Amino acid sequence: MTAARRSGRPDDAVSPARTAAWHALLRVRSDGGRFDDSLAAFPELEGLGDRDRALANELVIGTVKRRASLDAVLGVFTKAPLSDTDGEVLDALRLAAFQLLFLDRVPAYAVVDDTVALLARKGKRTQGFANAVLRKVAGDGRESFATLSDGDGARAWAVRHSCPVWLVRLLRRELGDETAERFLAAADAAPERCLRVNTMKTDVPAARTALAAAGCATTGVPGLPAALVYDGPALERSAPFRQGLVTPQSQGSQVAGVVAAAGAGPCARVLDLCAAPGTKTAQLAAAAPEARITAVDADELRLEVMRQNLDRLGAHGVQIVHRDVLELPAGFDGAFDAVLLDAPCSGLGTLASRADLRWRRREADIARLAQLQRRLIRRAARCVRTGGVLTYAVCTLPHTETLGVVETLLAEGGWQADDLGAAWPGLGHPAAGGFLLILPPARGASGFFVARLRRIAGSEG
């Protein structure tokens, strides 16, 4: 007899959302999948109604984001170290603890009973252990969390905002305590859902009408006329998405695309480097329909996704090149009016939308990526004609990957920086106002650094 039946609840009374969420967590544990790439495609979430699917999604994302907070509290109520706990059992405990600590609308008894029942179904002989631990979390967990997360030390911050200690120290050093606290609080929250209206196929009023018919409420975004913040069913399952009328794109990403497009004339020759999956490529095509756009990326799988995205959005005139940016042919040198380098980066500006990034990223990655970025920007710079512009964008914020990369190129001579801060009030970088530093929550859920550099006449060589 299962634990669910012993408690008077039939097996099929276990919440479908909790069942799906746990199995989604187990899938990632077993195959190493990435949440930002694969969550929407998890078969465990297919077949759920809209309400259960939304709850399952919230449970999975929240459990992954809040791992450090959950483990800190669970560790108070377990005798043995959590590292000794069976991985599948630990995922079940974390999933339950997330609901008990951070969701107010879920009855504690239902969370505990469902977790015990799920472990029984899986044949885990840990129902008594799970029941005892979770009842303690239900009773005293929030008080324990408040105690563990109280204070100004890096470890208290790490529990409070559920992130590695090294990341806490880096953000406080880079941003200052007040801004870092706001940034981390935004990273723990559900990300803003933002889209861009594809003006190659429709206009904003028509897109809003189509989205309303699909059950999505929308709000405009000041300064970004093609951007809409939306709420409702999954955008990718809607008719406006399938028809190419809209596409998901954060505010920060759209700002980067607008900056790059503004640096190119209407019939410019434009080069988009590290372009896949083509979000900004399509934005450039919409902003400059007569431009000749070349998009380059080294990853064939991502290029195939890019081809699908550009086809859906109607950006059929883009030339796609499968090539390593560091190995571009000499014919690219000085051939483009505008170049966009959306460089590989640590992605620390996307903690809100990429649930497990904080656990996959390592501190050493930042210096390694910065070295690559400096090589990429030098190669990108060679492609710009005299008088042309180079836009450098990264969805991160450490000085090493942002100002440090741009300043390296400027120091070599032949370039001057456009004053983007004057064009985008309030977004100027606090240490160098001519560049942009977009930080959540002021401009949505994704942080970006954006710089636009202009090749000075006679500086080629």
Q: What top-level class would CATH report for the domain 251-455?
A: alpha beta
At 41 the pLDDT is 57
Same fold, 194-248 and 251-455: no
Q: What confidence score (pLDDT) does residue 264 get? A: 86
Give the type of residue at 295: A
pLDDT of residue 122: 78
194-248 maps to which CATH number? 3.30.70.1170
Closest CA to 221 of 245, 247, 254, 188: 254
Residues with Cβ within 8 Å of residue 41, at least 6 apart in sequence: none
How is the chain split into domains, by residue range?
Answer: 3-148, 194-248, 251-455
Known active-site residue 395: yes
Yes or no: domain 3-148 corresponds to CATH 1.10.940.10: yes
CA 447 to chain centre: 9
Q: What pLDDT score was predicted for residue 106?
A: 82
SS3 category, 147? helix
What lies within 8 Å, CB to CB, of 264 at 6+ separation is: 270, 284, 288, 291, 337, 338, 389
pLDDT at 51: 87
pLDDT in tens, the chain (461 residues): 344 444 444 545 789 999 999 999 998 887 766 665 444 556 788 888 888 988 998 999 999 999 999 999 999 999 888 888 889 999 999 999 999 999 988 899 999 999 999 998 877 778 899 999 999 999 999 999 999 999 999 999 999 999 999 999 999 999 999 999 999 999 999 899 999 999 999 999 999 999 999 999 999 999 999 999 999 988 998 999 999 999 999 999 999 999 999 988 888 999 999 999 999 999 999 999 999 999 999 999 999 999 999 999 999 999 999 999 999 999 999 999 999 999 999 999 999 999 999 999 999 999 999 999 999 999 999 999 999 999 999 999 999 999 999 999 999 999 999 999 999 999 999 999 999 999 999 888 899 999 999 999 654 44
pLDDT value, residue 461: 45
Verify cis geometry, omega within 30 degrees of 0, for the bond prior to 225. no
Query: Which of the following is catalytic: 163, 216, 383, 395?
Result: 395
Q: How far is CA 3 from CA 118, 127, 134, 265, 390, in A?
A: 9, 8, 15, 68, 63
Q: Which residues contact 255 (CB under 8 A, 6 or more apart)?
A: 224, 424, 427, 436, 438, 443, 448, 450
C-alpha 421/C-alpha 437 separation (Å) is 9
